Amino acid sequence: MQVKNPVQGAMTALVTPFKNNKLDLESYERLIERQFRYGIDAIVPVGTTGESATLSHSEHRECIEVAVSVCKEQRKKGSCVKVLAGAGSNSTQEAIELARFAQDCGADAILCVTPYYNKPTQEGLFQHYKAVANAVEIPLMLYNVPSRTGVSLEVETILRLFNEVSNIYGVKEACGSIERVVSLNTHAKDLVLVSGEDAINYPILSCGGVGVISVTSNLLPDKIAQLTHSLLESKEHDTSRLLNNELYAINKALFIESNPIPIKAAMYLSGLLHTLEYRLPLLAPSKESLASLQQILNQYEVMK
């Protein structure tokens, strides 16, 4: 069954700002408002980029609540912005609890990463996602990022989930394979395919993708929104391709150390974050990385 009005388009995998090792919710709200101001269609709180693995459950819920609250205020002004809430865990029961909270809070859909560390079989992945999706009524987007989780959600499993579970509507692909995108688009034309790797946003969009979940858009939401919308809405392939090329240097630089270390540093250097804080075991980037980031940032205009 095709989900009506699915969450797609230009989306941002939000960073989570800290101040004195606590959530900086005032800055978080400001950052979300900035995303919508520069054309982003949906925000994705508490995903990998949001350091969800080191947040407490109460902090995770707070981030979703703030994101939904800001989104509701924007809708009152006539905006169509949405929230795709991170609700993944390597424990199925924990993922279910987070998904139910996101639904009760008012999120439009949930993004559920493959369980990490315990490396389930494909049947285990199928049963995990089926259980989470069946626990809620809102749409669920699968998230495949084997480099971070140690397990890949295979094409056959994605298609099985899409065909058998009514509210599983799409997948965020972050495995770097264009062939997978083509295969999925060939076998399930209504499956919502979303890029999870900024360096190949344009190739994925041009091969059937209908959105991006971007790290770079924390820094340059205007550019990512234009790249996405110029192709999806106006079919301006040249504009989208040139923007993808323009962003290549920063897209690569934002992964010189583990995400979200570089993106938070780049935002700090650009004045978007007032403090540069992470949760252990993540640390601030090296002096060399900071110098490299600053040099590349000089090539771009970061809108405040």
pLDDT of residue 2: 62
| Residues sharing a CB contact under 8 Å with residue 96, sequence separation 6 or more, in sequence order | 131, 132, 135
Mean of pLDDT values over 69-89: 94
pLDDT at 268 > cutoff 70:
yes
Q: Name the pLDDT band for 109 (thresholds 50, 70, 90).
A: very high
pLDDT at 1 > cutoff 70:
no
CA distance 298 to 291: 11
CA distance 218 to 14: 6
Q: Name the pLDDT band for 256 (thresholds 50, 70, 90).
A: very high
173 forms bridges with which residues in the sheet? 144, 195
Q: What's the mean pLDDT when you consider all of the chain?
A: 96
pLDDT of residue 134: 98
Tell me how far apart the terminal alpha carbons of the chain are, to the nearest angstrom: 41
Q: What phi, psi does 144 have (nearest 5°)?
A: -105, 110
Structure tokens at 2: 């095709």
Mean of pLDDT values over 191-218: 97
pLDDT of residue 183: 95
Mean of pLDDT values over 206-229: 97
CB 196 within 8 A of CB 213: yes
pLDDT of residue 99: 98
Percent over 70 (pLDDT), the chain:
99
CA distance 209 to 138: 21
pLDDT of residue 272: 98
pLDDT of residue 4: 67
pLDDT of residue 35: 98
pLDDT of residue 172: 98
pLDDT of residue 304: 92
Give residue-wise pLDDT tens across range 6-57. 899 999 999 999 999 999 999 999 999 999 999 999 999 999 999 999 999 9
Q: Which residues are catalytic?
A: 143, 172
Q: Name the pLDDT band for 3 (thresholds 50, 70, 90).
A: confident
> What's the chain look like in SS3?
CCCCCCCCEEEEECCCCEECCEECHHHHHHHHHHHHHCCCCEEECCCCCCCHHHCCHHHHHHHHHHHHHHHHHHHHCCCCCEEEEECCCCCHHHHHHHHHHHHHHCCCEEEEECCCCCCCCHHHHHHHHHHHHHCCCCCEEEEECHHHHCCCCCHHHHHHHHHHCCCEEEEEECCCCHHHHHHHHHHCCCCEEEECCHHHHHHHHHCCCCEEEECHHHCCHHHHHHHHHHHHCCCCHHHHHHHHHHCHHHHHHCCCCCCCHHHHHHHHHCCCCCCCCCCCCCCCCCHHHHHHHHHHHCCCCCCC
Mean of pLDDT values over 212-231: 98
CB 12 within 8 A of CB 273: no
pLDDT at 95 > cutoff 90:
yes
194 forms bridges with which residues in the sheet? 172
**At how many degrees (to 10) do helices 25-37 and 221-232 cross?**
40
pLDDT at 262 > cutoff 90:
yes
CA distance 188 to 171: 12
pLDDT of residue 94: 96
pLDDT of residue 5: 74
Give residue-wise pLDDT tens across range 122-170. 999 999 999 999 999 999 999 999 999 999 999 999 999 999 999 999 9
